[in-house]
Amino acid sequence: MHSNIKCEIYLFAKVLILSEKSLTGKAALHAGGILLGKTLSSGIFRKVKMRNREDDMLLAGRIRDLARQAEQNGYLTHTGFLSLSEQSLAMTVLAESGIPQSGKRHLFYGGMQEADRKVLYFLPSYLEAEDVKAQEDSGEGVLACLKITVRGARFTKEIGHRDCLGALMHLGIGRGQIGDILPERDGTCIWVFVLAGMEEHICRELVTIGRAHVDIEAAAPAACTARPVLIPRSGSIASVRIDSLIAMVFRVSRSAAQELVSREEVFADGRTVTSSSFTPAPGTRISVRGHGKFIYEGEEKTTRKGRIFVQTSVFS
């Protein structure tokens, strides 16, 4: 494969030398490599987008089937754990299917209200959302919780979320079977939400995370004590737009914030934000992939020059 790429670079270089006499051989080779890299990158990007589109179509069909089964057969159905983008897709599918977003016949829940990754439940007529939450919190539902501790040590930056996720997936567990992974702030343990039925396999097979030996015990989701810490952050912006808020909270430029929106990496209350001019309401939870998440608390005051002071709470 490497030899084929090298031949392509030489072909690009030869074309450039013939078409642009001012380019030297080395410059042409360099330019040919850049052009080829862009060509390969765009091709890979198209393939990834096509694969994502196929995955979205499968998920959408699955959601419609689960909703139909719960309604027609009168029993609880559910998805696996959904990412924020998958939750956004699910909301769109529900809306297109005529299912009210605030209806009582479905529920997003991930073991705690603050969870990022959530399961979508479709409820039969005899079940209410609060009943399902109570079952899950007590450990009698479709969710399970694991408490993982390192023997004689604490979790550190070297042994954290990524290592734990990698170790679980190495056991052959799919991402859809794993929910949030929450480390305690003092480093004593990590809590992991999984689909029920996986906890026995994990407790039996997971011996190490990285180079550290671990002990694992199953617990009811309500036993999880890890909670996010919110840090107040305020500042002045020209207007209450999503790109201005992201730029202020994460200390990036407006253009970088707009690029994040255009790449569909920004979510407001689980929905994908598609416009940089989107104006969130106070209380909206905003997540930015690769940067973090925060809650927009609202406006504080407006200066004489028209700039707006806003308050946010950033998840630490």
How many angstroms separate the CA atoms of 87 and 290, rounded? 18
Query: Looking at per-residue confidence, does 221 or 229 come out higher?
Result: 221
Distances in Å between the alpha carbon of 220 and those of 131, 133, 209, 224?
Answer: 16, 12, 22, 8
Q: Indicate if the pLDDT at residue 301 is higher than 60.
A: yes
Q: Indicate if the pLDDT at residue 17 is higher than 50.
A: no
Confidence (pLDDT) at 49: 55
Average pLDDT, the chain: 84
Confidence (pLDDT) at 175: 94
Domain boundaries, the chain: 2-54, 72-137, 143-223, 230-315
Domains 143-223 and 230-315 are alike in CATH topology: no
Residue 29 backbone phi and psi in degrees, to 5? -60, -45
Confidence (pLDDT) at 54: 83
Confidence (pLDDT) at 53: 77
Dig out the tokens for 202 from the structure. Answer: 């994990």
Name residue, tokens 């914030």: 257
pLDDT in tens, 21-70: 444 555 544 555 555 555 554 555 455 556 667 888 999 999 999 999 99
CATH topology of domain 143-223: Alpha-Beta Plaits (3.30.70)
pLDDT in tens, 170-221: 999 999 999 999 988 877 889 999 999 999 999 999 999 888 889 999 999 9
Torsion of the alpha carbons at 78, 79, 80 and 85, rounded to the nearest 10: -140
Under the banding of pLDDT at 50, 70 and 90, the label for residue 2 is very low
Confidence (pLDDT) at 189: 87
pLDDT > 70 in the chain, percent: 79
Q: Is 209 helix (H, G, I), strand (E, B) or coil?
A: strand
Residues of the chain by 3-state class (helix, strand, coil), percent to 5: 40, 25, 35
| Average pLDDT over every residue of 270-291 | 93
| Average pLDDT over every residue of 269-297 | 93
pLDDT in tens, 122-144: 999 888 999 999 999 999 999 99
> 195 and 146 in contact (C-beta within 8 Å)?
no
Q: Are strands 212-219 and 284-288 parallel, antiparallel or unpaired?
A: unpaired
Superfamily of domain 230-315: RNA-binding S4 domain (3.10.290.10)
Residue 132 backbone phi and psi in degrees, to 5? -65, -45
Dig out the tokens for 14 from the structure. Answer: 């030869």
| Average pLDDT over every residue of 101-127 | 86
Query: Looking at per-residue confidence, does 159 or 294 come out higher?
Result: 294
Confidence (pLDDT) at 104: 65
Q: Indicate if the pLDDT at residue 19 is higher than 50.
A: no
Number of H helices, E strands in the chain: 8, 14
Q: What is the 3-state secondary structure (H, E, C) of 6-65?
A: HHHHHHHHHHHHHHCCCCCHHHHHHHHHHHHHHHHHHHHHHHHHHHHHHHHHHHHHHHHH
The secondary structure of 216-233 as a DSSP string is: EEEE-GGG----PPEEEE
